[in-house]
Amino acid sequence: MLIDVHNHFYPPEYLAALESGDSAVKVTIDAEGNPCIHYPGDYNVAVRGHRDIAYRQSVLEKEGVDTQVITLTTPGTHVETPATAARLARLVNDAFAKVIAVRSPRFTALATLPLNDVAASIAELQRAMTELRLPGAMVFSNVNGVALADKRYEPLWAEANRLDAIIHIHPTDPVGVEAMTDYWLMPLVGFLADTTLAAAKLVFAGVPDRFPNIKWVLGHLGGAIPYLAERLDRGWEAFPDCRADIQHKPTEYLRRFYYDGVNFDPRAVRLAVDFAGADHVLAASDYPHQIGSIAKMKSSLAELNVSDEERKKIMGENARKLYRL
């Protein structure tokens, strides 16, 4: 069983809405006819696999991927006005539900939310999970510069906790992106830094402590979390501010998170296994982004220094249980 929990799909309806001009997002067309979706420091080339679900299914069948958990990706709907964000989030989630209805079990999905409007995000999460039967949502590591740990998001996490939601944190352009506009440093470095910052701040703010039913998933192997976790514990021991909102060391919470395997160095994946356990690492490809790869996902898992039982968990058994497949 091979289940890919981190990959991206732009529904044609969503691309059409962006291209209509009723959006804050700039779209251009490249020489091959692919839409290019621009946002600060980066742009995504929406190749055929991003927008043609039948073609995408043929790729998965060829590669031996049993299920993909599809999600929207950057720039997200929160860059729009609140009304447009809510409309586009609903459009995307309805499109995902149609894909699942026709092509399950090859595909399931996480909802996207209009994160610049907390009340609308709560309503859309409720609708996505109760009516569309999605298991949770993918959110971004900051929302137009606002941290996920900000108090304004407390009602959203309370509702996600009530619904036993999966919340998968995906990075977006971080504060300070102006220093990352050359050499593709924003996706190569900024993404990982922002995921690390989001996870650390959520933990120190006590969000996972107050809402223990949320299943948190961190993109790109958690950024630097497995590598820096010991330093966060030292901060908890040294600084009263770091103990103000949590009773336990940060690693006690971070080991409950799940880590998607969009890091194709088996040694890095092994570090995540050593940190959180094989039960909390998930296969992931970032397909079909330029920097993603189903082949590298498969080869890194094949080379990973774990037992066969642990490998089976990482490849699919963990995701099957977590996403209720």
pLDDT score of 21: 84
Q: How confident is the model at residue 55 (pLDDT cuts 50, 70, 90)?
A: very high
For residue 265, count other CB atoms closer than 10 A to its CB.
13
* pLDDT more than 90, % of the chain: 97
Average confidence (pLDDT) over 42-70: 97
pLDDT score of 144: 95
Report which of residues 40 and 20 the model is more confident about. 20
| 284 close to 261: Cβ distance less than 8 angstroms | yes
Q: How confident is the model at residue 56 (pLDDT cuts 50, 70, 90)?
A: very high
pLDDT score of 101: 98
Q: How confident is the model at residue 271 (pLDDT cuts 50, 70, 90)?
A: very high
Distance, first Cα to last Cα, the chain:
12
Q: Which amino acid belongs to residue 94?
A: D
What DSSP letter does each residue of 243-287 carry, written as one string? GSS-SS-HHHHHTTSEEE-----HHHHHHHHHHH-GGGEE----T
| 287 close to 7: Cβ distance less than 8 angstroms | yes
Average confidence (pLDDT) over 162-182: 94
Instruction: Indicate the range of 19-33, 58-72, 231-245 predicted with least confidence.
Output: 19-33
Average confidence (pLDDT) over 26-48: 92
Closest CA to 4 of 304, 307, 288, 306: 288
Report which of residues 287 and 176 the model is more confident about. 287
CATH code for the domain defined by 3-322: 3.20.20.140
pLDDT score of 223: 97
Average confidence (pLDDT) over 153-174: 97
* pLDDT more than 70, % of the chain: 100
| 315 close to 294: Cβ distance less than 8 angstroms | no
Provide the strand spans (E) within 41-101: 42-45, 67-71
SS3 at position 213: coil
For residue 87, count other CB atoms closer than 10 A to its CB.
17
- pLDDT above 90 (res 40): no
Domain boundaries, the chain: 3-322
**Helix 82-103 and helix 118-130, axial crossing angle in degrees, nearest 10:** 10
pLDDT tens digits, one per residue of 229-242: 999 999 999 999 99
Q: Is 116 exposed, middle or buried (0-12, 13-18, 19+ CB in 10 A)?
A: buried
- pLDDT above 90 (res 228): yes
Residue carrying the six token digits 């459009």: 91
- pLDDT above 90 (res 84): yes
pLDDT score of 41: 78
What DSSP letter does each residue of 286-317 carry, written as one string? -TTSTT--HHHHHHHHHH--S-HHHHHIIIII
- pLDDT above 90 (res 22): no
Phi and psi dihedrals of 247, rounded to 5? -95, -20
pLDDT score of 39: 83
Distance CA 146, CA 142 (A): 5
Task: Supply the pTM of this predicted model.
Answer: 0.97
pLDDT score of 5: 98
Distance CA 320, CA 1 (A): 9
Distance CA 301, CA 312 (A): 10
